């Protein structure tokens, strides 16, 4: 009888450990996705600013030659 209870508790703890591991992996994945999205947004913003500068430079060069 005692061995059955010990095995049951052991299985219960194993299940809890597996759940904690799965939760940690999910949390890490979510954090990684957030960081990746922010990095992509920063790159997109920088590219937009570079494009805008180029257009302004072209406009300024075009107006001075007219």
**What percent of the chain shows pLDDT beyond 70?**
94
Say how far apart CA 49 and CA 47 lie, in whole Å: 5
* CA gyration radius, the chain: 29
* Global model pTM greater than 0.75: no
pLDDT at 56 over 80: no
What is the distance, to the nearest Å, from the Cα of residue 61 to the centroid of all Cα atoms in its chain? 41
pLDDT in tens, 22-54: 999 999 999 999 999 999 999 999 999 999 888
**What b-and-e string marks burial along 7-39, b requiring 16 or more CB atoms within 10 Å of the CB?**
eeeeeeeeeeeeeeeeeeeeeeeeeeeeeeeee
């Amino acid at each position: 009888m005692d061995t059955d209870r010990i095995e049951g508790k052991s299985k219960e703890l194993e299940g809890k450990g597996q759940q904690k591991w799965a939760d940690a992996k999910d949390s890490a994945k979510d954090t990684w996705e957030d960081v990746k999205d922010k990095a992509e947004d920063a790159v997109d913003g920088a590219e937009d600013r570079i494009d805008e500068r180029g257009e302004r430079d072209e406009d300024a060069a075009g107006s001075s030659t007219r």
